[in-house]
Amino acid sequence: MIPIRDNNPTNTVPIVTIILIVLNSLIWLYEISLGSRSDYFILGYGLTPWRFTHYYMYQGGFWSNSITPLFWSIFMHAGWLHLIGNMWFLWIFGDNVEDRLGHCNYLIFYLLCGIGASLIHVAFNPLSKIPTVGASGAISGILGAYLICFPNARIYTLLIILVIIRFVEIPAFLFLIFWLVFQFLAAAAQTGAAENVGGVAYWAHMGGFVIGVALLWLMDKKPARPTRYGWNSD
């Protein structure tokens, strides 16, 4: 299932979402400008669970091997498809969550979801020596918030099942629950795999989703009113 757009209008310009998309894209362009040296950039600023938990074994200590990668890794990507997929989800779902929380709270929300998801990835893969990069954890948090705020919104979706290709409108709650179930099944299948096998950080996705739901309840203090799509601010 590939989301094309939603039918959920906003009352404000999603300034922070646009800035995040531009920032992620610029950092990716910088990565590819490094050519063969990009591997060293990813090793230095990507989040490597082993280095995070064994920071004392590496030059730079806790700050360079734990804190710095924990922040910078959520703005880095491993390829064009990785970047485009994440930014597309951010564009479709992020504007409504930004509208709901407000620009400043939304930025804090995004960063906390990304960092929290990364910590969950470390917790599930403490011995992995594979660097992890990507905004997926933060965006998963946005999906969690969207599910709670706008369950009745409609997601115009490209549905591909074997040889069947069709555009359909799916309620947001069905789309996002299906997404969450897929993440869980993939994470369960990944559990027990070799520590140094690369792949998608599914536990980070699930963790970001749950963190997003929790943070929404903590940060969303504005009065709300029911709308056709869920709940929105006055």
User: Given this model, what pLDDT does residue 105 score?
Assistant: 95
> Which H, E and C letters describe the chain, residue by residue?
CEEEEECCCCCCCCHHHHHHHHHHHHHHHHHHHCHHHHHHHHHHHCECHHHHHCHHHCCCHHHHHHHHHHHHHHHCCCCHHHHHHHHHHHHHHHHHHHHHHCHHHHHHHHHHHHHHHHHHHHHHCCCCCCCECCCHHHHHHHHHHHHHHCCCCEEEEEEEECCEEEEEEEEHHHHHHHHHHHHHHHHHHHCCCCCCCCCCCHHHHHHHHHHHHHHHHHHCCCCEEECCCCEEEC
Distance CA 78, CA 62 (A): 24
* Residue type for position 39: D
Task: Give me the domain span that covers residue 203.
Answer: 2-233
Task: Specify the number of domains making up the chain.
Answer: 1
Cα R_g (the chain), whole angstroms: 18
- pLDDT above 70: residue 191: no
Q: What are 151-166's pLDDT values in tens digits?
A: 999 999 988 877 788 8
- 232 conformational bin, left if phi > 0, alpha if psi -120 to 50, beta if neither: beta
User: Given this model, what pLDDT does residue 8 score?
Assistant: 92
Q: pLDDT category, 172, cuts 50, 70, 90?
A: very high
User: Given this model, what pLDDT does residue 57 score?
Assistant: 87
Residue 158 belongs to domain with CATH number: 1.20.1540.10
Percent of the chain with pLDDT over 70: 89
| Least confident interval from 16-20, 78-82, 227-231 | 227-231
Place of tokens 């990944």: 190
Distance CA 23, CA 74 (A): 11
Distance CA 137, CA 135 (A): 6
Mean of the per-residue pLDDT values for the chain? 88
